A and B are shown apart, each in its own frame.
Chain A
Amino acid sequence: MDLRFTMEQQKFREEARLWLEAHVPKENLPSFDTAEGFQAHCEWERVLNDGGWAMVPWPVEYGGRGANLIEWLIFEEEYYRAGAPGRVNQNGIFLLGPTIMEYGTDAQKVRFLPKMASSEEVWAQGWSEPNAGSDMAAIQATAVREGDQFRINGQKTWASRGAYADWLFGLFRTDPDSERHKGLTFVLVPLDAPGVKVRPIEQLDGEAGFAEVFLDDALVSVDNQLGEFNRGWDVAMATAGFERGLMLRSPARFQNTARKLVELYRETVASGVAIRPALREAVTQAWTGAEAYALNTYQTVTRLLEGGKIGAEASLGKIFWSELDLKMHETALELLGARAELLPNAPSAQGVGTWLDGYLFSLSGPIYAGTNEIQRNVIAERILRLPRK
């Protein structure tokens, strides 16, 4: 065990820090769930990509930097520390990208990964359907093979970034007689294909953060099948693993929030407001929790670098980070007191930061990427080995 960074890792950190200091936009970009913000975020992704920092852990030939996972964590630390914009293509780069790397053909890797890294093509995730939420195996949308095309019918919903994205990846029933996990195929669908209609849905904050996607005899090339025919479930489980686990929510995100929370605490103390001991304790717990999540991630990364895999443990992390995030934002709102309800344009909103917006988003953490109830089932059955039913 050696928890110190090597000289090389420190040099990598310095390089990232200097680059980010020079390039990160000085002003916060508008939300990537608005048309304007989406464009601004794509523009930022191009800057990142030109600098070679878009996909740090990917191989160079696919637009990455060929860095290892420790370096990736270091980059993330610097990224959040620099206050850089959220990653508009996170469904692509963090979820689908690694899945294509594992299951894709060489042609698919060449076709999709570089444009994903540059966010020239932004991706949405199409698992959920009106009747398939937690029970993802209840997917009904169908894809029928006709020659070298799939004819796709059905409806996907809650697709994040779907309102503005170029592509959607999802699972479709390819064997009409199949049930549940069998007979599904993983297909990549261009959202501008004929027969595809996208209807934006406003989220809790009023922005079009996700979309419904209607597929009405949409035709898609069979080259867009990822992994084996009728074996899409296994491919999707790999993607879901990336989502719950390491990639989507790297620890720096929560350490950054914890640091801001400590700053807010100090400002509140300095302003002369009396702070209840329980609130002081909540800030301390937030800090400790963010540290624990970071340390746990470094353990996981060490294991992966030495040939290990992430399995059901990803469910432990999903619960931990989503509850931590929610708790941190609740604590911040309590510290803000009466000002917690103010929107950024309110005359008295000085110093309220983005806590309210962050709070609204943190409320979705226990729902997306598999609800926390489902994660608890997974932990109980696959880690603790309790009987299923």
Chain B
Amino acid sequence: MIYSLWEEMKQAWRALMSNKVRSALTMLGVIIGIFSVITLVTIGEGAKAYVTEQIQSLGAGYDSFVMVAGKDHSVPPTPKFVYADIAYMELKVPEIRDIVGLNPGGGEVTYGKKTIKPSLVGGVTANYLDLMGGKVIEGRFFTAAEVDSRKKVMVIGPTIAKEFFGTGLAVGEKIKLRGDSYQIIGVMEARGSVGPMDLDKRVVVPITISQNMLGTDKIMRFNIFPKDISKITEVQEKVRQVMMRRIRSDDFSFMTQQGILSIVNNILAALTGFVSGIAAISLLVGGIGIMNIMLVAVNERIREIGVRKAIGAKKRDIVLQFMVEAMMISLLGGIIGIIVGIFGAFLIIWFIKGSFVVAWWAVIMATVVSASVGIFFGVYPAFRAAELDPVVALRYE
């Protein structure tokens, strides 16, 4: 059985190849159907990965949420938080375990004649590295006391350390940032990139200093860690109430990895539903096209069917022959659709500089679906062929 399946496949392949244009045209419906789904799913998976990376680069893992100044992301936010808000929130909302404060800023660092533009010049709280993940491999991180007393100290990423000091020690050296001189007290461990941000090329200073540096005492962002992660929404709500009263404004917003991902997922689900509808229609049309061409093929080969029966083909063999051929058309169409779809998605993602992820579940599903289309629409022509009376088939001109 398996053996004759292989034989049928070889012969089906030849039959398809002897009529290339017709086979290709027949595949078109399946190609388009599979192509559209694969393109969308691949772009969608890329979007998800991109969004996840972006959120992770804000430091929001699954155990915290981000509180950020501004509501509407289309206008630059005017931060209204201050350093003292951290202690205030921890006091008013006892469900909070920790709060990391972060002020992202830009600028260049200079050592001697060398100047580097770090990926991030961040003003952060003393718990930053512990909570956002990371270690110091040389020296130490700054303490809460140093933050409170606005010490001009700095912890730098390993890439910066290497570019400035090579294999030599960084700790103890002084670096210039926006005219001020900072003492290096630590070098962070290499961590690579998260999304667009190269973590190894960041520098951090006490958040209280960065306020000086940016010319305002306001803070952009907090990462809030609840004691019990399952209470994340309740904690968020409490923080909202507390802070609204305190700063008399609701011009801030929250982000959780799950929250944002679920928005992305919802949009993708709606889009996927829509495209799947179109794909289903084109697969249906493609399937009917396959059925039609297979009926033509049966008619063209009535005599062949008679001969095959005369030399001993059973009904089963004839059914198999035409089913394999129909399945091959649709499977081939599916595979072409998958390849073109992934390639198309790759081009689009490359163009918009997003993340490219092949959704293997979608590839497998597309393969199964396209093969099933052939099987489903090939059944009727195959049985028509198998039911032919051999004598009539042999006499057929």
* Chain A partners chain B: no
| B residues neighboring A (CB under 8 Å) | none
